[in-house]
Amino acid sequence: MTALDHLTRPGAGDALLEVEAPAPRTVMRRRALQHVGFLTGGAIVLGVLLVAIFAPLLTAYDPFAQDLTRRLVPPVWSAKGSWAHILGTDGLGRDYLTRLIYGARISLTVGFGAAAIAGLIGTTLGLVGGYFGGRVDAAVMYLVNVKLALPGVLVALSLISMLGGSVAVVVTVLGFLFWDRFVVVTRSVTQQVRANEYVAAAEAVGASRLRIIVGEILPNVLNHIIVIASLEMAVAILVEAALSFLGLGIRPPTPSWGLMISEGRNFMFFQPYLVAIPGVAIFLLVIAINMLGDGIRDITAPEGRN
Amino acid sequence: MIRFLIHRATIAVLVALTVSIIGFSLLRLSGDLASALAGDSAKPEQIAATAHLYGLDRPLYVQYLDWAYRALHGDLGTSLFTNEPVARLIGERLGVTVQLSFMSLVFALAISIPLGVLAATRPNSWLDRTALGIAVFGQAIPSFWFGLILIIVFGVMLRLLPISGSDTFAHFIMPTVTLGVSVMPAFMRLTRTGMLDALDSDYVRMARAKGLSTASVLFKHALRNAILPVVSLTAVSLGFLLGGSVIVESVFALNGIGFLAFQSIIRTDFPVVQSIIVFVAVLYIVLTLVADLVNAWLDPRIRLG
């Protein structure tokens, strides 16, 4: 709806001011289209997502197929490289580009999955603590303090080493480690929103607490949750890569980017591209997710910028 | 102040207690320790004997109370791998980790505070954008990979620095940079935000109106207030660094407690792993408690509010 529509409707006189102040949605769209970080980050994330989904269509090779006669073929830009293996092959003769493409699936799954689990736990705790206050809130903050005191990477390493390094285990463990920021943000926003008159009005007409929390408060918190989720997704991707690199995350032969760096480490001195390439992939994906998250924050709540 | 102190200290003790219970049960609940210790080919009676030997056949709370009682008296148990006391293993390696943590913290602060202050004095200038760029870079780069790239460039190609071990100061340079870069972004953003707020305040305008020099206004008036949150973050980061250097210590084979934890996890040496987890957590709790008290002492709004 454009601002002019208001003028042609009955009672248009009241809406004259809206010519000055366009609808929030229009403002947001305008901000989004002008935000370089949001557009660049969004494009890269979308690109990686498409690559992950259509992986089998993008490469003729199998990410697990070894060819020991073609070990350590250098990438196409070096003198001995060929177009048959654009990024060369690894120590077991597997096509490196193919493993990189399939690795995107692991990183995105871990990022989305861990952020979703953490978001669910953290948002629930934050809403409950912020809405009820008092002892409930004290209990929630106590949990956050316990969580913050535990050394996350160490706990994750020991849990995964005991439970086994499947993608599901890694996602779950990381999801249970990164919920604290969701609590802190959701809780403080809930406290602010709770003081609004429309919440008091909903209480006065006898709406249930669940309905107030889900219907009145949650929509106000949602933008903040999306921003935190993007940041936690980036952190989860970095931690998964680190755990897999240490040999206590995703197990071989699954093509995780961190694991690829760990395997490439043995050839680091003569084939440094084996270490460099997956690292650049992690770096680009994480930076893109951060740019997207910062962009969403600038667009939805510019006052929250630092 | 006394009431605030008692309140905060009580919470800290409760949190430490909970953390010790979690750290203790984590490794017991997630798998059958006795059969893991006895080996893959062990018969049921051998597993039972192993369980009895390590006291694993007792109820969990008895095991915990026994362990906690000894831990409070400085006995953290014995390593299953080296048969040495865990307390000694940790003690021997703590120095390396503390040195690495302090050096990275100093490195990070030395770069981020001046950069954050300068960025705040000229918002949206090229300097501000560069500072922001460094922060974005530090946040997104995988530290283990950054460490490897440093090894390739400075250790192998240029042959300037040793690539593993912890014998000399030079051994600490690359690990310090790697770890420092990962904690720098938070410090820089916090300094910049704090300075922006402070520079916009009435007391800074007053100081300027009095005709004080720019340096005096920036560092004596504005930075003093902007630095408060940075003090808290320093304590939190120190706790994080002491426990979070697992990755960097492993990449550079620095013989600190992070590397010890990593090796012990691989060897399923659970007395060592659980002790390090609880030790690092308690260290973190103490550091944040101290930071809270320092802040409350500096800022009456906290201790009275």
User: Which among B265, B278, B292 is the top mutation candidate for probing chain A, defined by the most A β-carbons within 10 Å of its own β-carbon?
Assistant: B265
- Nearest CB neighbour to A162, from listed B30, B144, B145: B30
Distance from CA of A207 to the nearest CA of B (A): 33
B18 contacts in A (CB within 8 Å)?
Answer: 142, 146
**Nearest to A128, CA basis, from A190, A180, A182:** A190
What pairs with residue A89 in β-bridges? A95
| Residue A15, pLDDT above cutoff 80 | no
* A98 backbone dihedrals φ, ψ, rounded to 5°: -60, -45
ipTM: 0.87
The number of C-beta contacts closer than 8 angstroms across A and B is: 133
pTM of this prediction?
Answer: 0.88
Q: How far are the Cα atoms of A105, A281, B39, B262 from residue A110, in angstroms, in the given order?
A: 8, 15, 32, 22
pLDDT of res. A240: 94
Place of tokens 């084979």: B253
pLDDT of res. B180: 92
Q: 3-class DSSP state for residue B76?
A: coil
The predicted-structure confidence for A132-191, as pLDDT tens digits, reads as follows: 988 999 999 999 999 989 888 889 988 888 888 889 999 999 999 889 999 999 998 898
Beta-carbon separation of B265 and A306 below 8 A: no
User: Residue B242 — pLDDT band, cuts 50, 70, 90?
Assistant: confident
Interface of B with A in 192-221 (CB under 8 A): 192-193
Is residue A221 within 8 Å of residue A186, measured between CB atoms? yes
Beta-carbon separation of B144 and A148 below 8 A: no
A146 contacts in B (CB within 8 Å)?
Answer: 15, 18-19, 22
User: Which among A45, A154, A284 is the top mutation candidate for probing chain B, defined by the most B β-carbons within 10 Å of its own β-carbon?
Assistant: A154
First to last CA, chain B: 11
Which residue on chain A is closest to B155 by alpha carbon? A269
pLDDT of res. B29: 66
The predicted-structure confidence for A256-295, as pLDDT tens digits, reads as follows: 999 999 998 888 888 888 999 999 999 999 999 999 988 8
Beta-carbon separation of A151 and B16 below 8 A: no
pLDDT of res. A53: 92
What does chain B come to in residues?
A: 305
